[in-house]
Structure 1
Amino acid sequence: MHKNIYDKLEFLYGDEAKGVYQKLMNIIEKYKISDKDFDFSEKDVILITYGDSIKKNNEKPLNTLHHFLNEYVKDSINTVHILPFFPYSSDDGFSVIDYKQVNPELGSWEDIQSLSKDYKLMFDAVINHISKESKWFQEYLKGNKKYKNYFIEQEPVEELKNVTRPRALPLLHVYKTASGEEKHIWTTFSEDQIDLNYKSTDLFLEIVEILLFYAKMGAKLIRLDAIGYLWKEIGTSCIHLKQTHVMIQLFRDILNLTAKDVILITETNVPHHENISYFGNGYNEAQMVYNFSLPPLVLYSFLFHDATVISKWAYTLETPSDKTTFFNFLASHDGIGLMPAKGILKDEDIDFLVEHTLRNNGLVSYKSNPDGTKSPYELNINYFDALYDENESMELNIRKFISAYAIAAAMKGIPGIYIHSLLGSRNYLEGVKITGMNRTINREKLNYDTLISELNDKSSLRFKIFNTFKHMLDIRKKHKAFNPKGKQMVMFYDDSVFAFMREFKDERVLVLTNVANREITLDIDNPLSKNPYDFLNNTSVDISDNKLHIILKPYETKWLK
C-alpha cells in the first residue's frame, strides 16, 4: 500500500479514503507511462505560444506552428508550451469545453504527438474551472446524478466576503436547471467558467485520469492553471489552502508512480512568498514555479535605471532542492502581474509602472478588494512597448529589450520566451477594439507569409529582435554554468548594474547588465580565469593587476568567463 497517498486521501476525504484509494490504484494501473526521472539542463528553453499564434491559409495552425519551429527556431529552443488547445467557449482557451479533445480548428492529437517527437511539450491543466458549455455542466443542469457534486452550489452568505477575488466580477452566478430551479454556483473567474468541486471524490478521480491522459499524449510538463484557488472552505480566503497543497502533492505522488519524467509547474500570480510555497519541501509539490516577480522587477529596473531592488531580491532567491527550479519569464499571454511585486516595490513605484504603461498605449486591469475598492493587478502591454522610451533610438530600445531577456535567460532557472517577444511584436491595439479584452493586446494572430517576409527584411524590427534573441539563446545553451542546478551569487558593483555569478561544475560565468541609459565603467577584482572574455559579444576584457576594467554601454549585457 502507498501509505503517503492513502494518508493524503484520508486528510481530504475522511471515511471515503478507502474507496477512493482503491479506485485511484485502478486508474494508476492503467497508466504506466515512464519510470525515467526528469532532469533540468542549460539546454532547456521554453517557447510560450498559442496553437494558432501563426496562421497560414488552408493549413491547420498546429501544422503551421510545427513547420515554423523546425524551420526557424529548432536550434534555439527545445520545449514548447502550447497554451490551451482544447475546444473552448471564452478566455482565449481557458474556459475548456472538453479536456480530452483538441480544438479541431487547430488540428488533432496526431499533430500534438507529432510536435512531441521534436520538442518537449507543456500542456495546460485548466482544472480549477470548466466551461459552462461543457458536457459536465450541461448534464448537471439536466439533473444527471453523476455530475450532481461536480460543482459548488453556494447561497450568498456573509462569510463569502473573505474570499480572495482575482477579478472585479461576482463570485456567484445564478444558473437555471432544466427543471426551472435557480442555483447559485461558484465562479472564481467569470460567468462562463464554473469552478470544480474537489470535495467530490468522483470529480477528483476524473481529474487524475485527465492528467495521466495528458502524460500519455506527450506532455512532459503540466501547467496547473490558477491552482491556488482549487479548494474552497467557507469562512476562509479560499486561496492557498492546505487542502490545495495536499492535492498538488497527490498529483505529484501519482505522476511519480506513472510518469516520473513529467514536471508539474504551478501558476499562482501572487506575492512572492506565497508563490514559492508551491515548491513544498522541494520533493513533494511542483518541480517548477513561475517566477512572477521577475517581469515587474525587470521593468522597474530599466525604467528607473536602478538595479538595487532586483539585486536585493535575487540575493534572497533559492529553491528548496535541486529537483526544483524557477520558470523565468518576462512576458506571456497574460499581462505583467503587479501582485508579485507587492512588498518588493514601493506602492508609488507600482503607481509609476501603471502610469508609464498607460503613456505607452498599454492598458491596466483591476481587481476587487474586500473593502469595495479596486487595485491594479495587471499591466496589459507588449513587453517591448513596456520598456520602450520614445526619447531613445530604436537601436537602444532593442538593446534594452534583449538585455531584459538576457537577465531571464541567465538567472538560475529555465527561461520562458513568449512568441511575441521572440518575434519582436508590438501592442495589438486593433485586437483590443475587436474583443473588448485588455489581454488581447499581447495575443495577435500573425499571418505566416507576412511574418516570414518581415523576418527576412534586415531593416525590420522583427528581423533585428529575432536574430539577436536567437543568437543569445544559442550561446546560452553551450554553457553549463547556466544549468538550473548550478549556483547563483549576486554581486553588488554599481547601483545601475545587475550582476551575478553563475557556476556549475567547472564553469563560472559573470553576468553583468547595465540597466541605465548611460555608459558605466567598472573596476573590479577578477573573480574569473586568467584571461576572461565576453563570450556573449565575443569581445576581450581589459585586465591588469588581476583587476577587470569593464566598460558597459547603455543597456548592455556582458557574459564573462
Structure 2
Amino acid sequence: MIKQLIQEVFSDEVDVEFLTESITERIDGYKNKKIRPRKIQWDQDDVFLITYGDQFYREGESKLTTFKNVYRKFFSDTFPIVHFLPFFPYSSDDGFSVIDYEQVNPELGDWADVQVMNREARLMFDFVCNHMSAKSNWFRGYLENQPGYDNFFIDVDPSTDLSMVTRPRTSPLLSEFKDSDGKTRHVWTTFSDDQVDLNFTNPKVLLRMIDVLLFYVDQGADFVRLDAVGFLWKELGTSSIHLTKTHKIIQLFRSIVDEVAPGTVLITETNVPHKDNISYLGDGTNEAQMVYQFPLPPLVLHAVRTGNTSYLQKWASEVTPPTKETSFFNFLASHDGIGMNPVRGIIDEDEILELVADLEKEGALVNYKQNPDGSFSPYEINTTYIDALSNRTDGDELRVKRFMLAHSILLTIVGIPAVYIQSILGGRNYYEGVEQTGANRTINREKYEASEIYDSLLEVGSLRNQVYRQLQELIQLRRNETAFHPDHSMRILSTTSTTFGLVRNEEVYALHNMCDKNQTISLEAGTYVNLLTKNECQIEQEIILEPYQFVWLRKK
C-alpha cells in the first residue's frame, strides 16, 4: 500500500523503491519501540476539551503544570480527551506558525510536562503540516541555500497566473524574501507572510513531515489534527485545494500510523463546504477517521438567532458517516471564528450576509476572504459563542438558556462532541486582547490567571459558574447514555420550522424549541423518562416546550 501511494504521488519523478524503503525503516523503528496501545474505536464516553496549553498561568509554575492542576480540579471528570492547540515554539498566529515541530514552547514547559498530562487524559496534537514559520531553521536553511533545504518551500515567478488558486485570506499569496545570494524569492504563503508553505513535491519534505508525525504519535498523541491540510499539494493552473495528491498523502499518513499505533485517529481540518469536507473520509477506511463538522456552528447559530430551523433540519437529515470506522468531530466554538464558507450552498447568501450584519451590530468582528473575481466575502465571524447567541442587552438567564440549548444539539447530534475552553468557562468577547494584538481572532482567545478562574467558577450564581455547572452536568449525562454512541443511528423528526428534534438509536429523543414562544412537538403517545430531571411523564400526542427549552426523553 505504501509503495503504491508513493507511486501515485510522485509517478516516475523519484526513486520509488528508495522512498518506500526509507518510510518502511521509520515504521519499523517506531514499532520496535512498542508505542503505548490506543483505545480502539470510540463510544459515547468520548468528549474533547479544546484548549491552549498556556490557557492558565500562575507565577513560578510552568503553564502546562498549571493547566494540569486546573484540569484535575474542574475538567477531568468531564473531558477524557484534551486537544492541545499547537504548543511548540512559534512566531505568530497563536501557535500556528511553528518554528520547531519537535520542541515544546519553553514558556509552557517541556515534553516531560506533556507526558504528565498524557497520564491524566488522552491527547490530541496539532500537526501544522501545510506551512511553518518564516523564522524557522528550515526556512532559514532554505534562504541560506544550505544543502538539503533546496526546494523545501515554493518559489513562484510573480508573473505566473495564480488567479485560480483558492484564497482563504486577503493577504498576498506570494511573499518576498531575500536569500543569502541577494536573490528575491517569491514564496507561496497561503495564510500570511510568516507562514510559508512546505513543498510536498519534494520527497525530502515528505520524509521530514513523516518524522514529525511519528514523533507526535510516540509522544502520546492518540489523535492528530491535520491543520489546513486541504492546501497541502499545489499545482499551477489549479485551485490548489483538495487536489488528488493531497488525499493520497493523507492516505499515506493513515497507512503509517495504522502500522505503528493502531487506534491513532487522524482528523482533518478543512473549513470548506460539506461535500468537500467529507471527501477527506476517503472510502471510509483509508483516509481520515474524522472530519471537523464545520457547518454545525453557523447552522446552530443561525437557528437560535432567527428561530428558523429549516436549514438545520434539512442539513442534519442528510448527515450520515459513510462507515462505522468514520465519524464527525462536532463543535460549536473553537480558537478560530465561526466559518461561513461551510454553509454556502446550505443557507442562502442573502441570509448569511444578514446574519453577519446582525452579529456585527452586537459586537462581533468579521474576517473576509478574497474571491477569484477580486471581490470580498465574509469568511468567519469572530466572537465567543455565548456572545454570538445573544444580544448585548440580554440578561444572563436568557444568555445561559440559549447557550445550553445550542449545546444540547452539539451533544446529541451524531458524531463526537468537542467543547472549546472559552465555552465551558462562559468566556465573553475579549476586546482588550484584540486591541493588543490587532487580530480579530484574539476576541475568543483570552488567557487567565489560575486563581481568577478558581474563584469565578466556584462563585455560585455567576455566569461562569452557571455555564460550567450546567454544561458539565449535560456532558456527564451524554457520556452515560449509550443511545448517543457515535455509531448509533440518528433520525431527524418532522417538526415545525421553529423547533428541532432528533431521535438516537430509536431510543432517546432530543427536542429543542429554538424561539422565544411556547412551541409543541408531536410525539408518539406513551410514557417517557425525562433524562434531565429523571421524572416520568405521560405524553398523549404532543409535548409543549417553553422558549428555548430542550428535553431529552427515553420512551419506556
Match among 221, 240, 243 for residue 241 of structure 1 = 243
Taking the aligned partners of 1:448 and 1:360, their CA distance within structure 2 comes to 29
1:14 aligns with 2:7: no
SS of 1:343 mapped into structure 2: coil
- Alpha-carbon shift at residue 391 of structure 1 (Å): 5.7
Which residue is 1:553 aligned to?
Answer: 546
Question: Is 1:448 matched with 2:450?
Answer: yes
In structure 2, the residue matched to 1:314 is 316
CA distance in 2, matches of 1:392, 1:68: 30
Deviation at residue 406 of structure 1 after TM alignment = 1.2
In the TM superposition, what is the alpha-carbon distance from 1:390 to its structure 2 partner? Answer: 4.5
For residues 254-333 of structure 1, the aligned pairs below 5 Å read 254-333=256-335
C-alpha displacement of 1:363: 0.3
C-alpha distance in structure 1 between counterparts of 2:426 and 2:266, whole Å: 29
Residue 152 of structure 1 corresponds to which residue in structure 2? Answer: 154
Task: Specify whether residues 196 and 21 from structure 1 end up closer, same or farther in structure 2 by C-alpha distance, changes over 3 A only.
Answer: same
Q: Is the 8 A contact 1:329 1:417 kept in 2?
A: yes
Give identity over the alignment, percent: 44
Counterpart contact for 2:518–2:546, Cα < 8 Å:
yes
Alpha-carbon offset, residue 458 of structure 1: 1.0
Which residue pairs with 2:127 in the alignment? Answer: 125
SS in 2 for 1:173: strand
Question: Which SS does the other structure have where 2:345 is aligned?
Answer: coil
| Aligned residue runs from structure 1 range 133-282, under 5 A | 133-282=135-284
> Which region of structure 1 is more displaced relative to structure 2, 85-94 or 50-59?
50-59
Q: Which residue is equivalent to 1:541?
A: 537
Distance 1:348 1:534 in 2: 39
Letter in 2 for 1:48: I
Question: What letter matches 1:13 in structure 2?
Answer: F
8 Å Cα contact 1:38/1:260 also seen in 2: yes
> What is the CA–CA distance in structure 2 between the aligned matches of 1:501 and 1:69, rounded to whole Å?
33
* TM-superposed deviation, 1:400: 0.8
* 1:410-442 superposed Cα distances (whole Å, 9 cap, x missing partner): 111110100000010100001000000000000
Rate the CA distance shift 1:36–1:476 in 2: closer, same or farther, 3 A: closer
Map 1:337-352 → 2, pairs under 5 A = 337-352=339-354
Change (3 A) 1:394 1:539: farther
Partners of 1:376 and 1:276 in 2: CA distance = 23
Mapped contact 1:34–1:260 kept (Cα < 8 A)? no
Using the alignment, how far apart are the partners of 2:393 and 2:544 within structure 1? 23
Matched, 1:403 2:400: no
The answer for the alignment partner of 2:510 in structure 1 is: 511
Corresponding position of 2:74: 72
Aligned with 1:533: secondary structure?
strand
SS at match of 2:523: strand
Contact preservation (8 Å) 1:34, 1:261: no
Moved over 4 A (4+): 34-37
Q: Which runs of 5+ in 2 are unaligned?
A: none
CA contact (8 A) 1:84 1:124 kept: yes
Paired with 2:321 and 2:443, the residues of 1 have a C-alpha distance of 33
Distance (whole Å) between structure 2 residues aligned to residue 165 and residue 320 of structure 1: 29
2 CA distance for matches of 1:188 and 1:259?
A: 32
Alpha-carbon displacement from aligned partner over 1:463-522 (angstroms, at most 9, x marks no partner): 01000000100111000101101100111122211101111xxx7110101111111133
Partner SS state of residue 558, structure 1: strand
- The one-letter code sitting in structure 2 at the alignment partner of 1:521 is T
Secondary structure of 2:552's partner? strand
- Tell me the TM-score normalized by structure 1: 0.96
Answer whether contact 1:541 1:550 (CA < 8 A) is retained.
no
CA distance in 2, matches of 1:275, 1:457: 41
8 Å CA contact 1:34, 1:258 repeated in 2: no
CA contact (8 A) 2:499 2:521 kept: no
Letter in 2 for 1:513: H
Contact 2:157 2:186 in 1 (8 A): yes
Cα 1:37–1:53 shift into 2, 3 Å: closer
TM normalised by structure 2 equals 0.97
One-letter amino acid of the counterpart of residue 541, structure 1: C
Cα shift at 1:14: 2.2
Task: Write the distance in 1 (CA, Å) between the matches of 2:154 and 2:392.
Answer: 50
8 Å contact 1:296–1:341 — kept in the other structure? yes
**C-alpha distance in structure 1 between counterparts of 2:534 and 2:78, whole Å:** 19
* Larger deviation, residues 294-303 vs 516-525: 516-525
Residue 60 of structure 1, CA deviation: 1.0
Question: What do the CA deviations read for 1:315-360 (whole angstroms, capped 9, x no partner)?
Answer: 0001110010001100000000000010010111111221122111
Cα deviation, 1:232-268, whole Å, max 9, x if unaligned, reads 0000000000000000000001111111111000000
How far apart are residue 120 of structure 1 and its match?
Answer: 0.8
Which secondary structure does the structure 1 equivalent of 2:507 belong to? strand
| Deviates further, 351-360 or 469-478 | 351-360
Q: 1:492 maps to what in 2?
A: 494
Amino acid at match of 2:2: I
Taking the aligned partners of 1:437 and 1:37, their CA distance within structure 2 comes to 38
Contact 1:129/1:195 (<8 A) preserved: yes
- SS of the residue corresponding to residue 363 of structure 2 reads coil
Q: CA offset at residue 158 of structure 1?
A: 4.0
> Cα distance, 1:35 vs. partner?
6.5
Residue 520 and residue 392 in structure 1: after superposition, are their counterparts in 2 closer, same or farther (change >3 A)?
farther
What SS class does the counterpart of residue 543 from structure 2 fall into?
Answer: strand
Would you say the 8 A contact 1:365–1:380 is kept in 2?
yes
Q: Please give the alpha-carbon distance, in whole angstroms, between the structure 1 residues aligned to 2:104 and 2:472.
A: 30
**Cα offsets for 1:338-388 (capped at 9, x unmatched):** 000100101111112211221111100001111111111000011111001
Structure 1 distance, partners of 2:405, 2:317, is 19
Distance in 1 (alpha carbons) for counterparts of 2:359 and 2:156? 38
- In the alignment, residue 271 of structure 1 is paired with which amino acid? P
Can you give the 5+ residue segments of structure 1 that lack an aligned partner in the other structure?
none
Q: 1:101-132 CA distances to partner (integer Å, 9 max, x unpaired)?
A: 00000011011111111211000000100111
- The RMSD of aligned alpha carbons is 1.3
Helix, strand or coil: the match of 1:371?
A: coil
- 1:23-52: CA deviation from partner (whole Å, max 9, x where unpaired): 111111111136766211100000000011
Residues 392/430 of structure 1: CA separation in 2 closer, same or farther (3 Å cut):
closer
Letter in 1 for 2:9: L
